[in-house]
């Protein structure tokens, strides 16, 4: 599944306030962990896109203003937003943690992994 890019801070604000549930992958091309979790993120998107979750990617080296607004300190960081509110996030995770993160969306409970 291809991921939608976030182009700038205005795009980020529009996306998280769209009324849809969105999962954003904050990554860096130079990070081995980001590269190794990329396949897991792709598999997760294939599963959850069917229930209406949109998937986006932010390259932390290209959009520093978005990184600061989202308070990203580690890559990879994954955040789930619904109606402009962060409902879950995880950092430096494996596939199981990504599924738990999406479980936070399914149950409406905030999950920090």
Sorted by where each begins, the domain ranges of the chain are 4-112
The CATH number of 4-112 is 3.40.30.10
For the stretch 44-81, pLDDT in tens is: 777 777 778 899 999 999 999 999 999 999 999 999 99
For the chain, list the strands marked E by DSSP. Answer: 4-5, 21-27, 53-59, 77-82, 85-91, 111-112
For the stretch 10-57, pLDDT in tens is: 999 999 999 998 999 999 999 988 888 887 777 777 777 777 889 999
Greatest extent of the chain over all pairs of C-alpha atoms, in Å: 34
- Cα gap 58→80, rounded to integer Å: 13
Contact yes or no for 102/44 (Cβ under 8 A):
yes
Contact yes or no for 22/53 (Cβ under 8 A):
yes
pLDDT band of residue 111 (cuts 50, 70, 90) is: very low
- Cα gap 26→61, rounded to integer Å: 10
Strands 53-59 and 4-5: parallel
Encoding tokens for residue 107?
Answer: 């149950």
- Cα gap 1→60, rounded to integer Å: 21
Encoding tokens for residue 38?
Answer: 């990329």
**pLDDT in the model for residue 1:** 54
């Amino acid at each position: 599944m291809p991921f939608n890019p976030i182009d700038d801070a205005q795009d980020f604000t529009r996306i998280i306030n769209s009324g849809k549930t969105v999962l954003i992958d904050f990554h860096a091309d130079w990070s081995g962990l980001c590269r190794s979790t990329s396949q897991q993120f792709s598999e997760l998107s294939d599963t959850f896109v069917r229930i209406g979750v949109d998937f986006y990617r932010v390259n932390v080296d290209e959009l520093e203003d978005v990184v600061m607004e989202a308070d990203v300190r580690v890559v990879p960081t994954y955040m789930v937003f619904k109606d402009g509110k962060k409902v879950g996030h995880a950092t430096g995770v494996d596939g199981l943690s990504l599924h738990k993160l999406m479980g936070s969306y399914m149950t409406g409970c905030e999950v920090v992994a």
